[in-house]
Amino acid sequence: MPRFLRSTRFRIALVAFASSAVALSAVAVGFVVQAQARLESGAAQLADARAAAIVQLLNTGTRPEDLPGLVRDSLYEVTDRSWHRLASCPGFYPHEGSLLPVSDLHPDVGYTRNLPVYGVDMVTSTGCSRVLGVTPEGLTGIPLHAILHFSGDGKYAVFGAARVDEDEQRAVDSARTGLLVGVPLVSLLIGLIAWLAVHRSLRPVEAIRAEVAEISAHDLGRRVPAPRSGDELARLAVTMNTMLERLDTAVARQGRFTADASHELRTPLSSLRTQLEVLLAHPDSFDWRTSCENALLDVTRLQDLVADLVLLGKLDNAAPPPFAPVALSEVVTTCLDGREIRDGVTITTEYEGTPIVRGHRARLVRLVRNLLDNAERHAAGHIAVTVSTVDAEGVLTVTDDGPGIPADEREHVFDRFVRLDEARDRDTGGSGLGLAIAAEIAHTHHGTIEVAPGEGGARLVVRLPALDRPPGTD
């Protein structure tokens, strides 16, 4: 199929043309049929009235031969029960004998029948002004409507006749011809208007498509033109720009993440390679055990960094795991059981209620563990962990007595590979992913994490939506 026929404009225009053609044709046919039926019904009613008037005269004693002098401007014929003509409108008989093919009539009062088509005979006789007469075979004329009545004594059959008004018939015929020509033209005009309207409406879509086609992965800062109409197309443009903005942010974030990850991986790899090269170059000048321990530290750091990167990739791209009710206090207890704490640091816990949250237990354990690792890394000697329920939320607070987080760093401390200057030491400083992972886990659980203001040290607060009641209770 040609591309032109597959376009939205053509399909909508075709549907508009076809639907309007069907609708207008139905209306036109109904109009013509009703108009024609109204004309023929009027003629039949007039014929019935004429026959009824003749019957009334006969019932009052009027003789058939006296009717031409009494009835004027009326088409009629009176016969006996043997269908022999007794009286008629002068000049109104197509052949000798009777007006109608009487052999086809039934002697039912009120019987109505269209006469065979006769030509116009323009005969003007006493009592009739333009009546119909016979013409040579093959000629056509205006059909008569006739109706049969019987006199009260049953001696006479009275035929009343009338023809459709010629002026009105010409008007109906003209309307029929006009509709035969006008309906297709109007339908075609409607299709053309639909084509132009859709073409104009889709112009912003074409502009959006052309702009998107020119945007590449290295040029995500461009935006599609947004029309000011405020309609669906304007909302589509706004949505497209929002999507491009998210893509731009994601690509930029991915680029920074890749650069930071490369830098973080390069440092321990370079250190490990240097140690191994020096050790191989001067095997008698270094302690092999000490060198292996230092190399092991670098390998451990690499392993932890790779594990964090894998977890972040899952948090970014993988579908969230199935959630289940989890007691926040049990998660904290699991993290503290068997934990080896740095010398000189103590951890205290306080449970103010037993909040139940819906989440993934393993990831919540990782969140709490990362917060504890961060607090232990910076604490001077004490870490406080508090679990409580506040405003239908489960709240976890981890506080240390370390140097704290400067106010201008609190918004960026959860970014990836962000480490404060005093945490840059290789042995004690982390990779800068612990708090970022904690923030991602909190967000996937529809919660929040923030650095709360406090006197000395750092105070990290996690809020997660709490269930109304613990699992298993009614």
Is there a contact between 160 and 43 (Cβ–Cβ < 8 Å)?
no
DSSP string over 108-162: -TTEEEEPPPB-EEEEEETTEEEEE----TT---BPEEEEEEE-TTS-EEEEEEE
Question: Is 211 inside any structural domain?
Answer: no
pLDDT exceeds cutoff 80 at 334 = yes
Q: Any residues with CB less than 8 A from the CB of 392 and at least 6 apart, and which?
A: 465, 466, 468
Do 183 and 310 fall within a single domain?
no
Handedness of CA 251, 253, 255, 261 (dihedral sign): negative
Q: What are the backbone angles phi and psi of residue 411, rounded to the nearest 5°?
A: -80, -20
Query: Which residue, 199, 195, 223, is CA-closest to 211?
Result: 223
In a domain, 133, yes or no: no
Average pLDDT over the chain, rounded to whole? 78
Residue 162 sits in the same domain as residue 284: no
What pLDDT score does 1 carry?
56
- Of 277, 451, 462, the residue nearest 367 (C-alpha): 462
- Assess whether pLDDT exceeds 50 at residue 263: yes
User: 410-428 burial by CB neighbour count: b if 16+ within 10 A, else e?
Assistant: eeebbbbbebbeebeeeee
Among residues 318, 352, 376, which one ends one of the domains? 318
Residue 286 has pLDDT above 70, yes or no: yes
Q: Is 52 exposed, middle or buried (0-12, 13-18, 19+ CB in 10 A)?
A: middle
Look at residue 126 and tell me whether its pLDDT is greater than 60: no
- Is 17:188 a contact under the CB 8 Å cutoff? yes
Domain shared by 349 and 293, yes or no: no
- Each residue's pLDDT tens digit, 380-392: 899 999 999 988 8
Determine which helix (DSSP H) or strand (DSSP E) holds 236, and give its type and residue range.
Answer: helix 232-281
Quick: pLDDT tens for 144-155.
677 778 888 888
User: For residue 108, what pLDDT band results from cuts at 50, 70 and 90?
Assistant: very low
Q: 68 lies in which domain range?
A: 1-90+105-112+145-201
Each residue of 66-102: pLDDT tens digit?
887 888 777 788 888 777 778 877 544 444 433 443 3
Query: Is the same domain home to 40 and 182?
Result: yes
Phi/psi for 441 (5° steps) reads -65, -40
Which residue shows structure tokens 């006009």?
A: 178
Between 231-235, 345-349, 408-412, 446-450, the lowest mean confidence (pLDDT) is in: 231-235
Determine the Cα angle at 161 with ends 156 and 165, to 5°: 165
125 falls within a domain:
no
Which sign does the torsion angle of CA 442, 450, 309, 306 carry? negative
Structure tokens at 467: 């269930």
Over residues 115-137, the mean pLDDT reads 34
Q: What is the pLDDT of residue 140?
A: 42
Tell me 103's DSSP state.
G
| pLDDT score for 78 | 84
Q: Are residues 324 and 399 in the same domain?
A: yes
Average pLDDT over residues 189-196: 91
Q: What is the pLDDT of residue 326?
A: 93
Give the whole-angstrom CA distance, residue 456 versus residue 402.
7
Burial class (CB in 10 A: 0-12, 13-18, 19+), 254: exposed
Q: Is the pLDDT of residue 118 over 50?
A: no
Give CA–CA dist 407/409, Å, rounded.
5
Task: Verify that 288 and 435 share a domain, yes or no.
Answer: no
Q: What is the DSSP letter of 442?
A: H
Residues 305, 445 share a domain: no
The CATH number of the domain holding residue 358 is 3.30.565.10
Contact, 372 vs 398, CB < 8 A?
A: yes
Question: Is 107 or 224 the better-scoring residue by pLDDT?
Answer: 224
C-beta separation of 123 from 103 below 8 A: no
Instruction: Say which residue, 210 or 142, is predicted with more confidence.
Output: 210
Q: Looking at residue 348, what is its pLDDT?
A: 93
Based on the structure, what is the number of domains in the chain? 3
Has residue 134 been placed in a domain?
no
Residue 138: inside a domain, yes or no?
Answer: no
Q: Which of 173, 201, 229 is the last residue of a domain?
A: 201
How confident is the model at residue 356, as a pLDDT?
A: 93
Confidence bin at 124 (pLDDT 50/70/90): very low
Whether 20 and 42 share a structural domain: yes
Same domain, 193 and 305: no
Give the count of alpha carbons within 13 A of 344, CB side only. Answer: 7
pLDDT of residue 218: 67
Does 183 lie in the same domain as 55?
A: yes
What angle do helix axes 166-201 and 203-214 make, rounded to 10 degrees? 20
Is it the case that residue 278 has pLDDT exceeding 50?
A: yes
**Kindly report the CA angle at 323 between 320 and 324, in degrees rounded to 5?**
170
Which of 280, 303, 318 is where one domain is finished?
Answer: 318
Q: How many residues does the chain have?
A: 474
C-alpha span between 277 and 420 (Å, rounded): 31
User: Is pLDDT above 60 for 469?
Assistant: no
DSSP 466: B
For strand 85-88 and strand 75-80, is the pairing parallel, antiparallel, or unpaired? antiparallel
* pLDDT at residue 455, rounded to an integer: 74
Residue 471 lies in a domain: no
Residues 367 and 387 in one domain: yes
Torsion of CA 11, 13, 14, 15, to 10 degrees: 90
Q: What tens digit of pLDDT does each residue of 14-53 get?
A: 999 999 999 999 999 999 999 988 888 888 888 888 888 9
Q: Establish if 347 belongs to a structural domain.
A: yes
**187 and 62 fall within a common domain:** yes
Rounded Cα distance between 276 and 279, Å, is 5
**Residue 195 resides in a domain:** yes
**CATH code, 249:** 1.10.287
Q: Does the pLDDT at position 142 exceed 60?
A: no
